[in-house]
Amino acid sequence: MGMPIELKEYGYGKSGIRLVKVTREGQRHHLRDVKVEIQMFGDFEAAYLHGDNRAILPTDTMKNTVYALARQYRFGAIEEFGLRLANHFLGRFPHVKRVVASISEKQWQRISCGAQPHGHAFQGATPERRLALIDKSRSATSIEAGIAGLAVLKTSRSAFNNFLRDEYTTLRETQDRILSTQITAQWSYSGGRPGFNHVWNGVRTALLETFATHDSQSVQHTLCAMGDAVLRSFDCISEIRFSMPNQHCLLVDLSPFHLDNPGEVFLPVDEPSGLIEATVRRPDDAVA
Amino acid sequence: MGMPIELKEYGYGKSGIRLVKVTREGQRHHLRDVKVEIQMFGDFEAAYLHGDNRAILPTDTMKNTVYALARQYRFGAIEEFGLRLANHFLGRFPHVKRVVASISEKQWQRISCGAQPHGHAFQGATPERRLALIDKSRSATSIEAGIAGLAVLKTSRSAFNNFLRDEYTTLRETQDRILSTQITAQWSYSGGRPGFNHVWNGVRTALLETFATHDSQSVQHTLCAMGDAVLRSFDCISEIRFSMPNQHCLLVDLSPFHLDNPGEVFLPVDEPSGLIEATVRRPDDAVA
Amino acid sequence: MGMPIELKEYGYGKSGIRLVKVTREGQRHHLRDVKVEIQMFGDFEAAYLHGDNRAILPTDTMKNTVYALARQYRFGAIEEFGLRLANHFLGRFPHVKRVVASISEKQWQRISCGAQPHGHAFQGATPERRLALIDKSRSATSIEAGIAGLAVLKTSRSAFNNFLRDEYTTLRETQDRILSTQITAQWSYSGGRPGFNHVWNGVRTALLETFATHDSQSVQHTLCAMGDAVLRSFDCISEIRFSMPNQHCLLVDLSPFHLDNPGEVFLPVDEPSGLIEATVRRPDDAVA
Amino acid sequence: MGMPIELKEYGYGKSGIRLVKVTREGQRHHLRDVKVEIQMFGDFEAAYLHGDNRAILPTDTMKNTVYALARQYRFGAIEEFGLRLANHFLGRFPHVKRVVASISEKQWQRISCGAQPHGHAFQGATPERRLALIDKSRSATSIEAGIAGLAVLKTSRSAFNNFLRDEYTTLRETQDRILSTQITAQWSYSGGRPGFNHVWNGVRTALLETFATHDSQSVQHTLCAMGDAVLRSFDCISEIRFSMPNQHCLLVDLSPFHLDNPGEVFLPVDEPSGLIEATVRRPDDAVA
């Protein structure tokens, strides 16, 4: 190449590594169902610039490593498995400067037979996925946990009023609308290793209960209330980021048919949606 | 047109009519979330052949009718709403010979606050959808109910052995594999109007419990056991049709890494999948 | 089982068998990219009822067979590959009564370098898929070809007028609307083996040109014109079935902003959509 | 709230605003089909913290504004429409500090009738989407253009050799594999306003031709060659970011059937995939 070029923020890895892990305690089996992504950053310039692959561990090897480590070690919380993967690659390859391991977990529940949860038969549970994101370099480790696609809807105590208007504003004020969203939230652990499962379940409960009971003036307002509830409940969480679409349920106009519609018949629409995002954090952590 | 052509099996309608219906009993609200499709068959030849629309009720009107009827009447089981829609169009338009109303319902559950189910806040529930298919003509009414996307997985008591082999067969026999599928089942009511909600919940339970407890020799075998369980439990059901993919979970070969894999680490794959289908019915109904 | 049950319309097979076939003529390579589904029907009752798999060829073997036959024979039109698969299984297994092979093909085109089509580099082409459906029993063979997802849109010469109205009708008459659909069409060959590629390309052209030039009074009307054009062009086609959603592009009401909108700004919606279906055939074939 | 909380990186907007714009020049119509997302950042704290919406322009108004501006002005390149939107909101609302407008455009082509492109009938074109991302604050404007989902595949001149191995490496070296990816690329304009359509088409051509003709030692290597080609061709582009999955096409092992497979029969898989990312830039720009 005549003209020199430079690389910035370059890395590679494997995405979509699907893994089901079964642990057997006699007749009682435990099921885990995850999707893993590994990204590596480091001294790979020669591969990009010159086609010299000597520093490139194949992404196929990353996949194999996920399966081999899943076999050799107890599969704990996905945060722990992500840490194991990051540590493995950093420990093995000095030219790798940083590893990002992202894991998302599907929820299963035991089938009930009579009133008893079955030992080895499962059904799909609620649709949200649990997330873990480990970002580890030679000098720092970031552990994030999260939840994606937590679908919630409330039919009362959601208003939207006194907003800014201009000549393109046609929306009416409302004291009582349907509020429907799919919560995606990711939070950072500020140090130490909490009980990951305990905290995750607690955050999920705090999100659901706050959504249910909050007197909402907007999605922004509810987002903040949820963040506040999480930070109050868990000292180990320093900040939490939300992405929440406002999935509109439009009240259908039945007046052409001489019918009223007192909050009964709605048309839910996928597009367009509002999109509300923010990070909520403790003031003490305000360093960046 | 110089050459005459003929029409066969022609009809039209509206698909993807989304409807959320909220019923308010004081502070306790009820939420229903459905998708409706209407298809009509009748004397529409002039529209197809000559562009004469005088017999064509716009599909936009069908959509409006769904919303107007949802407002005017109690929204019972989706089978009942489908019957209401079919009766409406057949009663109104003599040139319509047959109406098919298909409804699928999303599952929501109340958010628990403390141990109490909340009055007007809901979260997404298990991913399967409830189905109803009403097919009504001037002389006959068929009512079908169903379930789609009921995800189940068992980690034991599923074998596949003694199968037919030829020179392209490489599959090994197994006494203990993961069995994973998404059950779609549709059943016909043979007369009378049962308690639709009661039967639907009972069928769902029978499917789940049979899947969990059956000693499976194949997906075909489990399918039949589930059909048998449903027909035994509900006299009002004359036949039930299943479509069940075999969503393979492949045991990962760890021997290149000098590791065994005693049913612990699996790779689930979406494609290809087996696809097993059958209708199971009582012999008495064997006329058709 | 105490109560006898019966099976109806039962079969099994493999879906989602993905296959890329490369044929090399020196530096000029040919690329085919298909998805195959095989379904078999026959004497499989013992497997369903009793878990006896001796008549069950594994679906894994079906998949292997697809790959092995793709290697051993020239890969012609997908109709021919489907026939090869059906003949293989019927010829090999006397207890199999009927085989259905469905194939859908993704479209690729050669990358142009300068003005030259490249010999072995390809890019994704238009989004429609080519279909073939072979349904073969001991006594009959049905060959269907088709096209799915042919997206078309016209901004003029589409009207919808003089339709039936009732009290739920609010739609306005229009002389000039956007007409947008995704054509799915499947046609039967009435005997003999035409040049499958030639006919498929000819049908596709007839569909596109008729859609473009027809003075449409409705989707139904355009559907019929397209069927007529295909039947006129190809004697080997006895009938053709269409499924065409009416993907509405709604004229946005800009009057609250004191703006007119003379057919310029539209909101396309995915749901709900009209759904228009019909089979168009020659009168001579009117036996069935 | 007793405990104070802080907000970081908070904003809101509307996503999934679909717009079809038709421009009519006599019998020759022009069709544009885009999806728009608007995000705003500014002084919205009171809404989040206290439910005070006086600074909140409804996202519904953002949607209306998109349609109203699309009507009032010539719809040029999507980069220009994005700039118009960002300027509108910043100019109107002093408390808004930053606006991000993202637009993605679907490709349509005219239907050919005979050899003539039709004046007002269109068909779906190649599946990639054109992207524009305008990020404008009070002090700076960033204009990015891009392409997403450009599907390409080559059947020769792609190797992967001499890579790093460890005990989990089983991948074989190969001189000649299929290379298949979906190119997503986004580039920044370093100042001035180039001819956006001209550059976009030129970049697309450079990507396709480089992919086709490059002797690839890896996806990383091809990525870099494509970046180099783009930077050489267009001085106005300062850097370009790529995200390219390695969509594996696995050579099927036919040896159990006593068949060889000299690069003919492949199994394409969606998951897992490699994922290769990098930004390629001119050294002069190396400040950031």
* Residue C125 and residue C156 in one domain: no
Sequence-ordered list of residues with C-beta below 8 angstroms from that of C142, at least 6 positions apart, any chain: C133, C134, C135, C136, C188
pLDDT for position B287: 43
The answer to the question of residue D4 being in a domain is no
> ipTM higher than 0.90?
yes
Q: Give per-residue pLDDT as tens, B138-158.
A: 999 999 999 999 999 999 999
Closest-approach residue (CA) in chain A for D18: A272
Sequence-ordered list of residues with C-beta below 8 angstroms from that of C259, at least 6 positions apart, any chain: D68, D71, D72
- The chains found to touch C (3+ Cβ pairs under 8 angstroms) are A, B, D
Query: Is residue C25 pLDDT above 70, yes or no?
Result: yes
Q: To the nearest whole angstrom, how far is the Cα of A252 from the nearest Cα of chain C? A: 13
The answer to the question of residue B71 being in a domain is yes
* Residue B129 and residue B155 in one domain: no
Question: Which position has the token pair 């379930």?
Answer: B147
Average pLDDT over residues C133-143: 97
| D81: number of Cβ within 10 Å | 26
Closest-approach residue (CA) in chain A for B251: A20
Q: Which residue has the higher pLDDT, C2 or B162?
A: B162
The answer to the question of residue C191 being in a domain is yes
- Point out the least confidently predicted range of A185-194, C224-233, D14-23: A185-194
CB-based burial, C156-167: b 16+ in 10 Å, e otherwise: bbbbbeebeeee
Question: Which position has the token pair 């529409």?
Answer: B44
Domain holding C109: CATH number? Answer: 3.10.270.10
| Alpha helix stretches (DSSP H) within A165-258 | 196-213, 219-233
Cα separation, C20 vs B178, in Å, equals: 29
Q: Give per-residue pLDDT as tens, A2-12.
A: 568 999 999 99
Residues from chain D contacting residue A51 (CB–CB below 8 Å):
215-218, 221
* Residue A165 and residue A259 in one domain: yes
Residues from chain A contacting residue D43 (CB–CB below 8 Å):
none
Which of these three, A91, A112, A139, is where a domain ends? A139
Cα separation, D210 vs C111, in Å, equals: 10
DSSP H or E segment with residue D66: helix D59-72
Contact call for residues A252 and B68 (beta carbons, < 8 A)? no
DSSP H or E segment with residue C223: helix C219-233
Does A165 contact D270 at a Cβ distance shorter than 8 Å?
A: no
Q: Give per-residue pLDDT as tens, C85-96.
A: 999 999 999 999
* Residue B235 and residue B188 in one domain: yes
| A90: number of Cβ within 10 Å | 19
DSSP 8-state assignment for residue C262? S
Q: What ranges make up the beta strands (E) of B53-126?
A: 96-105, 108-113, 116-124
Distance of alpha carbon C58 from its chain centroid, rounded? 27
Average pLDDT over residues D254-276: 97
| A208: number of Cβ within 10 Å | 20
Q: What are the tokens at B63? A: 């959509």
pLDDT for position A3: 63
Query: Is residue D1 pLDDT above 80, yes or no?
Result: no
Among B35, B59, B118, B221, the one annotated catalytic: B59
The answer to the question of residue C208 being in a domain is yes
Contact call for residues A192 and A236 (beta carbons, < 8 A)? yes
* Residue C108 and residue C157 in one domain: no
The answer to the question of residue D227 being in a domain is yes
Query: Is residue A165 pLDDT above 50, yes or no?
Result: yes
pLDDT, mean over chain A: 96
Q: Give per-residue pLDDT as tens, A38-49.
A: 999 999 999 999
Of A167, A168, A257, the CB nearest to C168: A257
Which of these three, C139, C154, C188, is where a domain ends? C139
DSSP 8-state assignment for residue B140? -
Q: Give per-residue pLDDT as tens, C203-245.
A: 999 999 999 999 999 999 999 999 999 999 999 999 999 999 9
What pTM value is reported for the model?
0.96
The answer to the question of residue C287 being in a domain is yes
Q: Give per-residue pLDDT as tens, A255-288.
A: 999 999 999 999 999 999 999 999 999 986 444 3
Which domain does A198 fall in, by range? Answer: 148-288
pLDDT for position B286: 44
* Residue A212 and residue A124 in one domain: no
| C148: number of Cβ within 10 Å | 16
* Residue D170 and residue D288 in one domain: yes
The answer to the question of residue D1 being in a domain is no
Contact call for residues D65 and A168 (beta carbons, < 8 A)? yes
Closest-approach residue (CA) in chain D for B269: D271
Average pLDDT over residues C126-148: 97
Q: Give per-residue pLDDT as tens, B184-223.
A: 999 999 877 889 999 999 999 999 999 999 999 999 999 9
pLDDT, mean over chain B: 96
* Residue D107 and residue D242 in one domain: no
Does A170 contact C270 at a Cβ distance shorter than 8 Å?
A: no
Does B168 contact D257 at a Cβ distance shorter than 8 Å?
A: yes
Confidence of residue D239 (pLDDT cuts 50, 70, 90): very high
* Residue A94 and residue A17 in one domain: yes
Confidence of residue D59 (pLDDT cuts 50, 70, 90): very high
> How many domains are there within chain D?
2
Angle at D76 between CA D70 and CA D82, to 5 degrees: 65
Cα separation, C182 vs A34, in Å, equals: 36
Average pLDDT over residues A167-196: 94
Sequence-ordered list of residues with C-beta below 8 angstroms from that of A141, at least 6 positions apart, any chain: A83, A86, A134, A135
* Residue B59 and residue B183 in one domain: no
Question: Which position has the token pair 């052509």?
Answer: B5
Does the N-terminal peptide bond of residue C245 adopt cis geometry, omega within 30 degrees of 0? Answer: no
Q: To the nearest whole angstrom, how far is the Cα of B169 from the nearest Cα of chain A? A: 26
pLDDT, mean over chain C: 96
Q: Give per-residue pLDDT as tens, B27-62.
A: 999 999 999 999 999 999 999 999 999 999 999 999
- Known catalytic residue at B248: yes
Percent of chain B residues past pLDDT 70, beyond the cut: 97
Cα separation, D104 vs D107, in Å, equals: 10
Candidates B183, B188, B185; CA nearest to B241 is B185
- The chains found to touch B (3+ Cβ pairs under 8 angstroms) are A, C, D
pLDDT for position D193: 81
Class of residue B163 by CB neighbours under 10 A (exposed 0-12, middle 13-18, buried 19+): buried
- Known catalytic residue at B14: yes
* Residue D83 and residue D210 in one domain: no
DSSP 8-state assignment for residue B216? B
Average pLDDT over residues A235-255: 97
* Residue A156 and residue A237 in one domain: yes
Contact call for residues C200 and B95 (beta carbons, < 8 A)? no
Of D72, D118, D127, the CB nearest to C259: D72
Which of these three, A97, A121, A139, is where a domain ends? A139
The answer to the question of residue D5 being in a domain is no
Longest dimension (CA), chain C: 75
